[in-house]
């Protein structure tokens, strides 16, 4: 079992405060601290509030969330990261997790279609990383189609029944120069402490 884990995020990534008592104040404080103009502060506060509302709506309080704000002057977020521990089923390892990611290829549901899925595995310090790049089309209620770009990366420590799963969601089509390379670079910083015994 995993006793503790962490990811090494650069200074322009900010952990999101999801506490109902303090999240609104956190939004205003971060927007005020990093954005240089009143317009950028207002835009950024709106984006951050939307993130807080969306993540709270998932109903998974054990997830950790962070946002990437490389150019605060635009008032925009470049990427959203959610990460947390995922329990592995009996006998589930890197191959089984990879198969679940591959299975998304061509998957379609109400308002959602997977347009592109590329998968990979790599060795990182904490174990084996299994990842997927996705392009997903979302049909909005007004009939407009929005294409989401994301990576899903699970890091599976040896002899553990849990993995650390990261989901990086680009907030704009040009957010990353190379989303796979950049998000794998972040996932490679994950450190894991296993329980003894």
pLDDT tens digit sequence for 51-100: 999 888 776 767 899 999 999 999 999 999 999 999 988 878 999 999 99
Provide the sign of the torsion angle of the four alpha carbons 58, 94, 132, 75, taken in this order: positive
- What HEC string does 96-113 produce? HHHHHHHCCCCCEECCEE
Whose structure tokens read 């990576």?
151
What pTM value is reported for the model? 0.93
């Amino acid at each position: 079992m995993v006793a503790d884990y962490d990811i090494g995020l650069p200074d322009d990534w900010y952990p999101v405060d999801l506490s109902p008592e303090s999240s609104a104040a956190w939004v205003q404080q971060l927007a005020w601290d990093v954005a240089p103009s009143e317009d950028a502060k207002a835009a950024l506060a709106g984006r951050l509030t939307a993130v807080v509302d969306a993540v709270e709506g998932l109903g998974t309080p054990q997830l950790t969330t962070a946002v990437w704000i490389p150019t605060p002057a635009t008032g925009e977020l470049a990427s959203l990261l959610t990460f947390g521990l995922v329990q592995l089923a009996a006998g589930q390892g890197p191959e089984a997790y990879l198969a679940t990611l591959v299975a998304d290829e061509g998957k379609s549901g109400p308002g959602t279609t997977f347009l592109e899925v590329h998968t990979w595995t790599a060795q990182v310090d904490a174990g084996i990383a299994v990842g997927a790049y996705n392009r997903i089309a979302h049909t909005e209620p007004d009939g407009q189609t929005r294409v989401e770009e994301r990576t899903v990366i699970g890091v599976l420590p040896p002899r553990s029944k849990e993995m650390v799963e990261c989901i990086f969601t680009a907030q704009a089509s040009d957010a990353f120069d190379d989303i796979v390379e950049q998000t794998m670079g972040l996932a490679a910083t994950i450190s894991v402490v296993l329980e003894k015994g």
